[in-house]
Structure 1
Amino acid sequence: MEGTGGHDRERGRVSPRGRPEVAIVGAGLMGRWHARYAKAAGGRVVAIVDPDHARAQDLARDFRGALVFRDFDDCLMVTSASVIHVCTDVDHAALADRVLGAGRHAIVEKPVATSTEEARRLVDMAGKLRLVLCPVHQFAFQRGFGRMLAHRDELGEIVRIEGAACTTDGEGLAAPVRRDRLVGIVPHFVSLFRALVGGVSPVSWHVLASTSDDLSLVTRVATTQLSLFASFRGRPPRYELLVVGTARSARLDLFHGHLVWEAGGLSRAAKVAAPFRRSAAGLSMAALNLAGRALRREPAFPGLRALIGAAYRAVRDGGPPPVPPEEIVEAAELMERIAKSPRT
């Protein structure tokens, strides 16, 4: 049995054919979906950790033999879980530090860290211990986004990328917490922007607005303009990515994970038909996407199951983590820059 102070690399090892043993820390909404997709991706859920014992027990009933813990250190001492999913609302960096320090792989809800120093320390720690540290940046693992990347050349030169998030998650929260929630959306879009244009220097971003209700950022990479808007006031709720190219454009519904191409025809007839084509394409793609997700048993949080599966393969095979360590640091640097910006 392992004490809570040191680390044991044997704990983090999984045989090439073995199923990783998994512990879920946080039995709320995200913990439930992590547990479900962990099982679907080949993991075996052996422990649920939550200070709300009744909530943890309720989730554990879905996983035969899963133990329930109020205290995270007790879970580390008693179980041999090789992968820990951190699904709490707070303290992601502190929990990730304890997971890695105990020699376990970590799949961590965003943000992994909110400061550059924290992010670099965790990334360095995971690298030295040869452990997987995987943030939950699942949008880049959605099938729609993957299809767009596979056909990226059809966009022509990318002129503009717009990320938009309008959410109701801030209702009833104090202003500082609301602002932190908005800033916490940033890592998702850092992941998407990196996949499309490579790393973006955090110091290049201009913070146009940063309040408890709205966040607006812009930057430019070569000839491509990037923008991100997140709001608790905007309606209807949405998570979207628009990629505008010189040949055509792509619009991704990140709530549902589907892609709609927008043709670049210049004729009068093409312009007249454009809104009808967009509506028809959106309806058909939404229907196909929902049917596909039903077949894949992915009713919510598209991309999460694929991300977890990729992380488990990295654990099993000893390969690189599915999300590059540099992405964790870049996201933290940008969040730190926003936090230090004036409230405008």
Structure 2
Amino acid sequence: MSTPKILIVGAGLMGRWHAFSAIRNGATIAAIVDPNIERAQALQREFGAQRAFKSLEECLKKSESNIAHICTPAQNHLASIELCLANNHHVLAEKPLLSTFPETKKVLERANESGLKLTPVHQMPFQRGASKLAEDHSNLGKLVRLSHTAFTSGADGKPETERQDVLLEILPHPISLFYRFFGDNLTADQFNVRRYSNGELEIDGVVDDTLLRISVSLRGRPTRNELTVTGDKASAHIDLFHGFATYESGEVSKRAKILKPFRFGSNLVLDASRNLIQRSASNEVAYPGLRSLIRQFYRAALDGKPAPISEREILLCAEVADKVRLSKTS
């Protein structure tokens, strides 16, 4: 693979972690772009980027690069993505990729016509725990239900008009995780929006006789982000904050019932400790799965390999998000 020469567009929190992960995947940071030039220059110094710019348009004219990381608020994505594609850049953009299904479809078509990769940051399926389980869950038996729960503080301090949007920013996570288990068998028509109000999002669905549940709350505490995969032989609990899975036996007996909290507790501590050691050894200090996704995206962009996230998954996320928005007005 040739060296990725990248732009980081947006010098906030996610811009920093993209820069951190990009460097560890062998990339050269050609430029940092942010309207706040002092913030761009601070990130430039921290990661040894070649230049800093206030304007993406100026940056694309003056820097040598081939990949853009879009780490700005979602409302700014469309203009930035279109500008990068027009200047022959592959694009990795934070979620949600774009605001609506029609926008998403149109821009994906433009990328395809130009032979460029356009990928959103759905990093959770690339975590070790989720990836391993999605690839092989035969030990769980037939899948009975998948349940994703997220309690977030991400809307704290935001005006009321913006708080509900945070729920939609989280929505691609469970959809992308479900997609890894069911692939193209998963469609937007299978989801029903039960609630989208007062800081709560509740969605359920059925695919291949498996129940699906999404519960996202701005109010619930403590914060959490987890996926429980239940089979008819066993279950698995994925800690999506930290990227590991803990398995739970499906044994049915009085003895198993008595020992359950002790077995599960000890397995949880063991799995969490093993995961901490692995992440420490690889210097993965935050956002598990992001570095793996970036690595696979670079290979796809520069070596012509398939994109790590399919177009079908991207469109599914956009279609379900539109369905949620429509539920609020119907």
TM-score range, shorter chain: over 0.9
Q: How far is the alpha carbon of 1:125 from its aligned partner?
A: 1.2
For the residues of structure 2 that align with 1:158 and 1:124, how far apart are their CA atoms?
Answer: 35
1:29 aligned residue (1, 13, 20) = 13
Question: Given the superposition, is the C-alpha separation of residues 309 and 158 from structure 1 closer, same or farther in structure 2, using an over 3 Å criterion?
Answer: same
Look up the match of 2:131. Answer: 146
3-state SS, counterpart of residue 88 of structure 2: coil
Distance 1:58 1:212, change over 3 A: farther
What's the CA shift for 1:212?
Answer: 4.2
RMSD, aligned α-carbons: 1.3
Distance 1:276 1:243 in 2: 20
Superposed CA offset, 1:223-259 (max 9, x none): 1000101011011101100000011011000000010
Give, in whole Å, the separation in 1 of the partners of 2:49 and 2:145: 50
Q: 2:151 aligns with which of 138, 151, 166?
A: 166
Letter in 2 for 1:72: L
Equivalents in 2 of 1:343, 1:243: separation in Å?
A: 32
Cα distance between partner residues in 1 of 2:244 and 2:84 = 34
Give 2:89's aligned residue. 104
Write out aligned runs for 1:64-79 (5 A).
Answer: 64-79=48-63
Matched, 1:81 2:52: no
**Please, which runs of 5 or more residues in structure 2 have no aligned partner?**
none
Q: 88-97 vs 111-120, which deviates more?
A: 88-97
Percent of residue pairs identical: 37
* Structure 1 residues 271-322: Cα deviation after superposition (integer angstroms, max 9, x where no partner): 1111111111111111111111011110000000000000011112111110
The question of whether the paired residues in 1 share the 8 Å contact of 2:32 and 2:49 is answered with no
1:332 partnered with 2:296: no
Spell out the pairing of 1:306-321 with structure 2 (5 A cutoff): 306-321=292-307
Determine the structure 1 residue equivalent to 2:259: 273
Residues 77-128 of structure 1 deviation map (CA, whole Å, 9 limit, x = unaligned): 1112100000012322332122112110000000101211111111111111
Could you list the structure 1 runs, at least 4 aligned residues long, displaced by more than 2 angstroms after superposition. Answer: 62-65
Structure 2 CA distance for aligned equivalents of residues 301 and 65 of structure 1: 22
Offset at 1:222? 2.2
Cα shift at 1:343: 6.6
Q: Which residue of the partner structure matches residue 11 of structure 1? A: none
Structure 2 residue aligned with 1:227: 213
Aligned residue pairs total 328
Distance 1:253 1:343, change over 3 A: farther
Secondary structure of 2:220's partner? Answer: coil
Query: Map of 1:244-323 to 2, 5 A cutoff?
Result: 244-323=230-309
1:327 is displaced (CA, Å) by: 1.1
Change (3 A) 1:241 1:49: same
Unaligned runs of 5+ in 1: 1-15
In 2, the alpha carbon distance for the partners of 1:65 and 1:183 equals: 32
2:33 corresponds to which of 49, 62, 66: 49
TM value normalised by structure 2? 0.97
Measured after TM superposition, the shift of residue 26 of structure 1 is 0.5
Residue type at the aligned position of 1:19: T
Alpha-carbon distance in structure 2 between the residues aligned to 1:72 and 1:151: 43
Cα contact 2:21–2:290 (8 A) shared by 1: yes
Query: C-alpha distance in 1, partners of 2:253/2:264?
Result: 16
